[in-house]
Structure 1
Amino acid sequence: MVSAGKRLPSMLQVIVSLGLFLLIAFSFTAKLDLPIQLALYIGWFIIIGLGLRLGHKYHDLEKAALSGISNGLGAVLILLAVGALVGTWIAGGIVPTIIYYGLKAIHPSIFLLATMIICSLTALATGTSWGAAGTAGIAMMGIGQGLGVPAPVTAGAVLSGCYFGDKMSPLSDSVILASSMSNVEVVEHIKGMLPIAAISYVITAIMFTAFGIHYSGQVDMSKVQSVMLSMQNQFDITPYSFVPVIIVLGLLALRLPSFPVISFGSLLGVVWAVMVQNMDPLIAFKTAWAPYSIDSGVEFIDSILNRGGMSSMLGSVAVIIFGLGFGGLLDKVGVLETIAKLFTHRITNAGSLATSTIGTAFLGNVFGSAMYVSLILTPKICAKNYDRLGYQRKNLSRNAEFGGTLTSGMVPWSDNGIYMAGILGVATLSYAPFMWLSFVCIIITIACSYMGWFIDPCEPVDESMAPSQPPQPSATVTDNA
């Protein structure tokens, strides 16, 4: 929050500053074909300039930016480890094997439903949507392309499953972060999300099933057979390639730290590349850093398998670093606090409270460019409204989670937006309309809140007697959504 003795920015100053940032961000990405990293870099100086005008010292602003970065550096480690995993698992024939057997076993009419279920189970077991998207997600994208399903639709099913499983997993650090910032036990936080999340999951499953049945008649099965044959020609397809998948998922399910487990999984990929695919050891090891390269002559195979490696994630790393620092500056200067204060007098019931919280969390993604920024700032800004109106904090953690995590992949310049677009090979704005679980969950949350369903009241707390802001996380976040 803004430092004692420093004034909050006016709404005009907020509109000008954030409007300028959005103008730059949209111009760079949509018109000028410039990287979003540069827009975030410039955004730092926009907010620093605002902070200096409000009486902050540059040293304090720089310290706030560095503090914001430190809160999410664990995500950078996970990101690099997943990059290595993807590269070595493709080289080791693990991802191609999953795609091959998926094409062989999954009928087109249930493909999208199966995609959502498989990705949700993977994320639930591992506690990371990034890891689930980088493993099961990539495989399902390959199967979908083999079946002729539009890539944006498949990506929507992948992300619907990944984010649902992640939100229901006590292993997820985004779940831990949202609950801890709201002063709620993790189990209570998950219980608070479960009814609406389950209803949303069923509705989304029906939607993907209906779409899949409608689309299945257009699938050219001869093309599927051609893709499978080409996959066999490029890789040694064997059921033994499922062993690294089972090992990694098992270790993550045992609640072992994600970074070393995923790194170990990438080492298994190197071993499989050498032992199963007969690849030169040095070339196999190099795939942990540089994207795996294949020229099969089949456009689908080349597009889905020419990826991975730590180096492919460096752009996302820059987004996360600049985004977290930008969020730290927004928090220090008090930009989102000013926005929240504007709507405080209009928050009079559970419905308006849920709407404002989800909106604040979404803005945290838009302007903070990182999910962690949203999950840290939203509870701090909105907590007093829940205490004032008499609603338990688990309502706050649920709404912050839904608004912050489920929308993070929709923002093209956010950490999740950049990562998911890169790992799935589909532009953020192309797959965003098909993230049906996110839309359904948010709509149901707001509707139920206005109806008085699935909310937990408590005794209102006088603002003068309310506790100060929720505590900062005791340790650096070590995983991602």
Structure 2
Amino acid sequence: MKEKVKKLKPARVKRKPNMFEALSAVIVLLVIFFFGSLADLSAPALIGIAVGYVVFIGWRCGYSWEDMEGYTAEKIKSAAPAMSVLLAVGFLLGAWMYSGTIPMFIYYGVQLVSEKWILVSAFALCAIFSTCTGTSWGSAATAGIAMMGIATAMPNVNIAAVAGACYTGAIFGDKLSPLSDTTILAALSTKNDIFDHIKHMSKTVIPAAVIGIIIYVIMGISTKSTGNGLPENTLQLLDTLDAAFHWNIIVLIPLVIVIYGAITKKPSTVIMMISAMVALLIGLFYQGFDLSDGVSALYGGFNLEMVEHAREGFSAADAGEDAMKLLNRGGLSAMLKSFILIYICFYFAGIMEQIGAIEVLLGKLLAAVKTRFTLILATSISVIILVAIGGSSSLALILTGEMYNEKYKEMGLSTLNLSRTMEDFGTGMAGFIPWSGSGVYYPSVLGVSIGAYLPYCFMSYAVWILAYVYAATGICIKPLEEEVSTEGSEA
């Protein structure tokens, strides 16, 4: 008897997408998200549609679903630390409201910071925190939240402008701090000493920060003042805070824990969770709130109705709309939508990277580079495209460094110019991309949409302008012969 031989299907040949296929994936993403956002459609669902399209492109290029799913699983695994930080922030916010940490900042900040100086104060406080700790996310989640709370209690203040000041202040430190992961990555991927990189980086960032501060000062001076006394709704808010919470320096311990952990480079998620647990204990034993309310605050956020259980005669209904909006927030559930969106975004980025679409899109740029200006222009475009596609500044810095290192040397330029350009356009760019991790994180924490705070990120725009001016004129451009290689000093 002849055995039937089972015919095996020939293996599909894998190839890179052509330019049309690679570009169409990006266009579909932008179009779907743009029009979907205008119609106020669900962001995770919109990105899901874009993922479906890029899966189709991957299939056309010979990749099976198993191939793509396996690769994206590794991609998501690498993003787990950032995603866990997002969830920890939800716990932290709920706990800090419960303990009175954020309310204390608001209570005293409203009385100390004037409406005319709120923008400068927001930028400066976030810049100091992020420079000392190296984390823009941590700066936004602590100093940023405190300043936004203070601003919300001020009737004549532009909340979107304060969010823009908080955002750029946080990015300032992320660009210049030797503790910042993006600063470290930019130096490592170009094989430069980190302090040489920071020194060269400061030539765009510091002048840009000064420009931003000047604009904030002008905006502050032109802000209408409420006069010598605080307005009635702000006074009502202060009365509510004073009745709801006890004030003591002990309430600031959760903040001290986060600052200490950031400075000493302890794991962010662990430190935030420890801070949240300490805040829970402060709310329970010092503020006198119920334990069940504290646990509820960790998941669903703090609610003024919780105060009614601990303060006789206190009525949340009498607190006023401003107090309710300001204090009823936080909790793990508030971050779940952001978590899901980031998860789906990594599917899109992972498949685009796996099938070679990113390489195809950027390959043409290198071929067009002929001058110093076009080299820096191409570098900036590459970084922006990589951040937009990958949703991550870190990925953009690594890939751009690898792609352009030799090109800068060929054209007689120090790779310090490359590392600076990468940070000029890469660090902070993700906060302008709605489907990126930062584009989800900052609006969630600051309570203001990207479209609202985008016009007020003056430092970011000044950095870009200065980068192009330097490229065109040769000012602050370091030639190759001045470069000091650190490769020989590596152990």
- When the two structures are superposed, what TM-score results if normalisation uses the length of structure 1? 0.88
Provide closer, same or farther for how the CA distance between residues 391 and 48 of structure 1 changes in structure 2, counting only shifts above 3 A. farther
Provide closer, same or farther for how the CA distance between residues 320 and 384 of structure 1 changes in structure 2, counting only shifts above 3 A. farther
Q: After the TM superposition, which of the residue ranges 421-430 and 398-407 deviates more from structure 2?
A: 398-407
Provide closer, same or farther for how the CA distance between residues 289 and 315 of structure 1 changes in structure 2, counting only shifts above 3 A. same
Q: CA RMSD in A?
A: 2.3
Higher relative contact order (CA 8 A, sep 6+): 1
Q: Is 1:360 aligned with 2:382?
A: yes
Q: Is 1:204 aligned with 2:212?
A: yes
Q: How does 1:21-420 map to 2 (within 5 A)?
A: 21-31=29-39, 33-148=40-155, 149-217=157-225, 221-223=230-232, 224-294=234-304, 295=316, 297-420=319-442
Pick the structure with greater CA Rg: 2
Letter in 1 for 2:56: G
Give how far 1:7 is off. Answer: 4.1
1:17 corresponds in structure 2 to 25
Report the Cα distance in structure 1 between the residues aligned to 2:224 and 2:114, rounded to whole angstroms.
8
1:249-293 per-residue CA deviation (whole Å, 9 max, x = no partner) reads 123212222222121111121112112221112321332222112
Structure 1 counterpart SS, 2:299: coil
Structure 2 counterpart SS, 1:319: helix
The answer to whether the 8 Å contact 2:415/2:480 transfers is: no
Structure 1 counterpart SS, 2:17: coil
The answer to whether the 8 Å contact 1:371/1:416 transfers is: no
Report the Cα distance in structure 1 between the residues aligned to 2:371 and 2:275, rounded to whole angstroms.
48
The answer to whether the 8 Å contact 1:119/1:137 transfers is: yes
The answer to whether the 8 Å contact 2:211/2:458 transfers is: no
Provide closer, same or farther for how the CA distance between residues 455 and 60 of structure 1 changes in structure 2, counting only shifts above 3 A. farther
The answer to whether the 8 Å contact 1:390/1:458 transfers is: yes
1:427 corresponds in structure 2 to 449
Report the Cα distance in structure 2 between the residues aligned to 1:235 and 1:425, rounded to whole angstroms.
23
The answer to whether the 8 Å contact 2:298/2:332 transfers is: yes
1:163-190 per-residue CA deviation (whole Å, 9 max, x = no partner) reads 1112222222232333333333433332
The answer to whether the 8 Å contact 2:101/2:252 transfers is: yes
Letter in 2 for 1:400: M
Provide closer, same or farther for how the CA distance between residues 181 and 67 of structure 1 changes in structure 2, counting only shifts above 3 A. farther
Provide closer, same or farther for how the CA distance between residues 112 and 260 of structure 1 changes in structure 2, counting only shifts above 3 A. same
Structure 1 counterpart SS, 2:480: coil
The answer to whether the 8 Å contact 1:170/1:186 transfers is: yes
Report the Cα distance in structure 1 between the residues aligned to 2:218 and 2:429, rounded to whole angstroms.
24
The answer to whether the 8 Å contact 2:183/2:423 transfers is: yes
- When the two structures are superposed, what TM-score results if normalisation uses the length of structure 2? 0.87
1:400-433 per-residue CA deviation (whole Å, 9 max, x = no partner) reads 2222222211122221111111111111111111
Provide closer, same or farther for how the CA distance between residues 189 and 325 of structure 1 changes in structure 2, counting only shifts above 3 A. farther
1:19-71 per-residue CA deviation (whole Å, 9 max, x = no partner) reads 1222222232222x322212222322322222232234443333332232233
Give how far 1:78 is off. Answer: 1.2
Give how far 1:216 is off. Answer: 4.3
Aligned length: 456
Report the Cα distance in structure 2 between the residues aligned to 1:101 and 1:292, rounded to whole angstroms.
20
The answer to whether the 8 Å contact 1:304/1:425 transfers is: no
The answer to whether the 8 Å contact 1:371/1:414 transfers is: no
Quick one: which of 438, 451, 470 aligns to 2:473?
A: 451
The answer to whether the 8 Å contact 1:88/1:287 transfers is: yes
Report the Cα distance in structure 2 between the residues aligned to 1:37 and 1:373, rounded to whole angstroms.
21
Letter in 1 for 2:166: V
The answer to whether the 8 Å contact 1:227/1:301 transfers is: yes
Report the Cα distance in structure 2 between the residues aligned to 1:298 and 1:21, rounded to whole angstroms.
42
Structure 1 counterpart SS, 2:288: coil
Q: After the TM superposition, which of the residue ranges 434-443 and 279-288 deviates more from structure 2?
A: 279-288
Letter in 2 for 1:162: A
Letter in 2 for 1:320: I
1:340-386 per-residue CA deviation (whole Å, 9 max, x = no partner) reads 22222332233222222222222223222333443343334444432
Provide closer, same or farther for how the CA distance between residues 46 and 375 of structure 1 changes in structure 2, counting only shifts above 3 A. farther
Q: After the TM superposition, which of the residue ranges 150-159 and 7-16 deviates more from structure 2?
A: 7-16
What's the % identity of the aligned pairs?
29
Note the residue ranges of structure 2 that are not aligned, 5 or more in a row: 1-12, 305-315
Give how far 1:92 is off. Answer: 0.6
1:463 corresponds in structure 2 to none
Report the Cα distance in structure 2 between the residues aligned to 1:20 and 1:302, rounded to whole angstroms.
40
Report the Cα distance in structure 1 between the residues aligned to 2:38 and 2:398, rounded to whole angstroms.
29
